């Protein structure tokens, strides 16, 4: 009988022990669940505080949210990154850089990854400006890279300052691989130094501007215009002169000048049964300029020296550049206009070139 009472007592102790263990496990699971709920709630609250204005769109990277008070960062909208016009613009700029730096054996494939450290920008500016910058050739550290960028951008801004150029770049934006800032910088250099390229017109991108104010991240969507028309972009870097005054304030006198120049060039081109009626368009491919120089200097220009029927922008630039060389060979000063401007139908540039010929050859038969 005593034995029968002892067995149940052992089973009861084991059950209580098991229940106690399950209770502890259950309590632990409950506590972990509550801790996770609290953690999730805190994270949700943190997101609500830090980004109350953010909505579906580009994902913010950690560096985009670690902003100081009143600091802001610009993020390229993913839809703009895939925009075909923007991609075309990047390709044109990349091809131009590679062409300019071919002798340095520098090949750029990606604007963000290849230009952020200042090395390529240094070489490009030195090639375009003809001035050597006092910077270390190779810098691996972030401090060294930013110092190089600082020197390069100061030189670029110094060149552009007289034209009141709106600088859309900084050391930090370039070094942080901000593609929009890099493209703005390259466009400024290409336009100012009259790169022999045709920039796509009316290219714009959408960006998200993230700003921290009173500890809260605020965002705004902004459209950035990168390129306008070819004419407007050229005006941005042109110097004001007498032809600007004629174009802006004395259209009547401008027509008199154009008529005189048309009469002058036709006096000579008529010998080849050629006739000009539109100055800006008919001289844009350089053919008439080359032929005119041969007539004025009384020699035959070999056809293999220029393109008689140019098709590409580069071939037209070659023709105009060759005509400029012939002018200098004839004792004239190098034209102030750029060959690319003449090819781009810039009336003022074409007038400069033709007026220079008129003043030197107006008494030639």
Same domain for 205 and 345? no
Which of 115-124, 182-191, 223-232 is predicted least confidently? 223-232
Report if residue 57 sits inside a domain. Answer: no
Q: Provide the greatest CA pair distance for the chain.
A: 147
Last residue of a domain, one of 174, 199, 234: 234
Q: Which of 329, 315, 265, 317 is nearest to 291 (CA)?
A: 265
Asked whether residue 89 carries a pLDDT value surpassing 90, the answer given is yes
All residues at 6 or more sequence positions from 228 whose CB lies less than 8 Å from its CB, including other chains: 201, 202
Shared domain for 165 and 198, answered yes or no, is: yes
**For residue range 331-348, what is the model confidence (pLDDT) as tens digits?**
887 787 788 888 888 787
Residues 162, 290, single domain; the answer is no
- The mean pLDDT of 134-144, rounded to a whole number, is 83
* Other CB atoms within 10 Å distance of the CB of residue 322: 19
- Rank 64-78, 151-165, 174-188 by mean pLDDT and report only the highest: 174-188
| pLDDT above 70: percentage of residues in the chain | 74
pLDDT band, very low/low/confident/very high, at 50 (cuts 50, 70, 90) = very low
Is residue 139 in some structural domain? yes
For the chain, give the mean pLDDT.
79
d(CA 301, CA 297): 10
- What's the whole-number mean pLDDT along residues 34-43? 52
Both 248 and 228 in one domain: the answer is: no
Residue 62 falls inside a structural domain: no
**Do the domain assignments include residue 127?**
yes
What pLDDT, on the 0 to 100 scale, is given for residue 35?
Answer: 54
- Regarding whether 259 and 216 lie in a shared domain, the answer is no
Residue 116 domain flag: yes
pTM of the model: 0.52
Determine contact, residues 358/261, Cβ cutoff 8 Å.
yes
Q: Is 94 in the same domain as 158?
A: yes
Residue span of the structural domain in which 333 resides? 242-362
Query: What percentage of the chain reaches a pLDDT higher than 90?
Result: 38
Instruction: Check whether residue 205 and residue 321 sit in a common domain.
Output: no
20 found inside a domain:
no
User: Can you give the CATH number for the domain in which 82 is found?
Assistant: 1.10.418.10
Same domain, 86 and 204: yes
Whether residues 254 and 311 share a domain: the answer is yes
**Domain contains 346:** yes
Burial class (CB in 10 A: 0-12, 13-18, 19+), 365: exposed
Domain end marker among 234, 261, 278: 234
The closest alpha carbon to 322, from 274, 98, 265, 314, belongs to 314
Per-residue model confidence as pLDDT tens digits over 264-303: 999 999 999 999 999 888 999 999 999 999 999 989 999 9
Q: Find the length of the chain.
A: 365
Q: Nearest Cα to 248, choosing from 235, 259, 262?
A: 235
280 and 160 in a single domain? The answer is no
Mean pLDDT of 107-121: 94
Domain boundary among 200, 215, 234: 234
Q: Are residues 92 and 136 in the same domain?
A: yes
Choice between 121 and 62, residue whose per-residue pLDDT is larger:
121
Examine the domain organization and report whether 188 and 249 are in the same domain.
no
Would 76 be classed as within a structural domain?
yes
3 state SS for the chain: CHHHHHHHHHHHHHHHHHHHHHHHHHHHHHHHHHHHHHHHHHHHHHHHHHCCCCCCCCCCCHHHHCCCCCCEEEEECHHHHCCHHHHHHHHHHHHHHHHHCHHHCCCCCCHHHHHCCCHHHHHHHHHHHCCCCCCCCCCCCHHHHHHHHHHHHHHHHHHHHHHCCCCCCCHHHHHCCCHHHHHHHHHHHHHHCCCCCCCCCCCEEEEEEEEEECCEEEEEEEEEECCCCHHHHHHCCCCCCHHHHHHHHCHHHHHHHHHHHHHHHHHHHHHHCCCCCCHHHHCCCCHHHHHHHHHHHCCCCCHHHCCCCCCCHHHHHHHHHHHHHHHHHCCCCCCCCCHHHHHCCCHHHHHHHHHHHHHHHCCCC
Task: Provide the number of structural domains found in the chain.
Answer: 2
Please report the pLDDT score of residue 250 as a whole number: 58
């Amino acid at each position: 009988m005593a034995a029968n009472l002892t067995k149940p007592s052992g089973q009861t102790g084991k059950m209580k022990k098991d229940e106690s263990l399950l209770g502890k496990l259950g309590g632990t699971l409950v506590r972990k669940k509550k801790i996770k709920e609290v953690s999730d709630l805190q994270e949700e609250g943190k997101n609500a505080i830090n980004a109350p204005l953010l909505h579906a769109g580009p994902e913010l990277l950690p560096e985009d949210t670690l902003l100081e008070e009143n600091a802001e960062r610009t993020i390229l909208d993913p839809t703009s990154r895939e925009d075909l016009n923007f991609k075309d613009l990047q390709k044109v700029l990349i091809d131009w850089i590679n062409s300019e730096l071919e002798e340095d054996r520098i090949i750029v494939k990606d604007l963000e990854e290849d230009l952020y450290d200042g090395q390529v920008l240094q070489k490009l500016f030195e090639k375009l400006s003809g001035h050597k910058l006092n910077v270390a050739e190779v810098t691996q550290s972030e401090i060294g890279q930013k110092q190089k960028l600082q020197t390069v951008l100061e030189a670029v801004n110094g060149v552009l300052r007289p034209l009141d150029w709106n600088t859309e770049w900084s050391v930090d934006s370039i070094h942080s691989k901000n593609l929009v800032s890099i493209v703005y910088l390259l466009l400024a250099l290409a336009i100012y130094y009259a790169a022999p390229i045709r920039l796509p017109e009316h290219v714009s991108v959408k960006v998200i501007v993230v700003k921290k104010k009173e500890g809260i991240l605020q965002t705004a969507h902004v459209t950035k215009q990168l390129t306008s028309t070819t004419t407007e972009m050229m005006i941005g870097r042109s110097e004001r002169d007498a032809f600007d005054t004629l174009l802006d304030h004395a259209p009547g006198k401008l027509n008199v000048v154009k008529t005189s120049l048309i009469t002058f060039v036709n006096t000579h081109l008529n010998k080849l049964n050629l006739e000009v009626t539109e100055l800006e368009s008919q001289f844009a491919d350089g053919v008439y300029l080359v032929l005119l120089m041969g007539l004025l200097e009384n020699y035959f220009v070999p056809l293999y020296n220029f393109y008689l029927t140019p098709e590409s922008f580069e071939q037209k630039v070659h023709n105009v550049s060759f005509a400029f060389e012939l002018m200098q060979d004839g004792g004239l000063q190098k034209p102030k206009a750029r060959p690319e401007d003449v090819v781009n139908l810039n009336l003022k540039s074409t007038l400069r070139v033709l007026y220079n010929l008129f003043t030197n050859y107006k008494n030639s038969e």
